[in-house]
């Protein structure tokens, strides 16, 4: 028997993710590699439902019970990779984190030169829930671009763009401030809000409009704010806030459509 699976049954990849062992995608890869067994029989497909009556093992070890769902705010510095390791030896978000943290997975990504708020969680179901476009979480960025976007550029962003065959949804943007720099020309700070979060979306749409990005800071992900959290610092979101904002029980189960609607409204 495993405490990680409910009596009614869940897909094995979801159970593994809920236990904080890995993401669903990683679970599927481990299954394909023959590392996961149910009742002593190695799995060959992730299309399997398990219950509390099944004995699940990973690499021959019993699957541990699910951890308490936890969410953390991390201020990702510039020049740090959102990955567990790098073959080139570059610094990652996990380097220098305090001891005693659970296994944490990033919610979405920030690229190497981007900085700001990165959410981290030990719960694979929460990660998936927050990343789904259908969930509707609003990501807000402060973006410094070269040049001064005008009303026409912001209007094009608001309608959405198609770049090299990739469709980008509507983006809200407004001017923060501009300043002249004799050596580098004119830089402008703008605030942008979007819900899709495609790979390098902000950089691509700005460059397409003729305003290349030279600094990008994520300041909010839904209702969670970067605030004055110092670069490189990580802080846990209180359990009550996690429960109220995400609509999850302490067992980690997402609530229904009403809670999801409420959380979207809070994040806008």
For residue 197, is it left (φ>0), alpha (ψ between -120 and 50) or beta? left
- Which among 147, 141, 231 has a CA at the least distance from the CA of 192? 141
Whether 228 is catalytic is no
Paired sense of beta strands 172-181 and 161-163, if any: unpaired
Rounded CA-CA distance 220/119 in Å is: 10
Q: Which residues contact 97 (CB under 8 A, 6 or more apart)?
A: 234
Angle at 43 (CA atoms; ends 37, 44), nearest 5 degrees: 160
* 8 A C-beta contact, residue 165 and residue 208: no
Hey, CA dihedral for 263, 105, 107, 214, is it positive or negative? positive
* 8 A C-beta contact, residue 188 and residue 145: yes
Rounded CA-CA distance 235/230 in Å is: 10
Hey, CA dihedral for 241, 244, 245, 250, is it positive or negative? positive
Beta bridge partners of 236: 72
- Of 39, 111, 176, 228, which is the active-site residue? 111
Q: Which residues are catalytic?
A: 111
């Amino acid at each position: 028997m495993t405490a990680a699976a409910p009596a009614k049954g869940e897909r094995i990849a979801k159970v593994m993710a809920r236990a904080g062992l890995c993401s669903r995608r990683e679970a599927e890869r481990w299954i394909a590699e023959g590392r996961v067994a149910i009742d002593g029989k190695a799995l060959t497909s992730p299309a399997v439902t398990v219950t509390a009556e099944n004995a699940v093992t990973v690499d021959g070890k019993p699957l541990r019970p699910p951890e308490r769902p936890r969410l953390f705010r991390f201020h990702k510095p510039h020049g740090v990779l959102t990955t567990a390791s790098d073959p080139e030896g570059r610094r990652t978000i996990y380097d220098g984190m305090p001891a005693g943290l659970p296994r944490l997975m990033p919610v979405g990504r920030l690229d190497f030169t981007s900085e700001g708020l990165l959410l981290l969680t030990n719960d694979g179901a929460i990660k998936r829930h927050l990343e789904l476009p259908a969930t509707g979480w609003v990501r807000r960025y402060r973006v410094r671009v070269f040049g001064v976007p005008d009303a026409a550029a912001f209007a094009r962003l608001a309608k959405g763009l198609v770049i090299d065959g990739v469709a980008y949804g509507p983006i809200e943007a407004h001017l923060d401030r501009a300043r002249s720099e004799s050596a580098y020309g004119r830089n402008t700070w703008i605030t942008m809000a979007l819900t899709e979060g495609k790979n390098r979306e902000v950089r691509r749409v700005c460059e397409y409009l003729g305003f290349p990005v030279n600094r990008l800071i994520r300041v909010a992900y839904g209702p969670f704010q970067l605030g004055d959290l110092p670069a490189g610092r990580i802080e846990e979101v209180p359990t009550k806030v996690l429960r109220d904002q995400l609509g999850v029980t302490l067992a980690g189960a997402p609530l229904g459509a009403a809670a999801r609607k409420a959380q979207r409204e809070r994040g806008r």
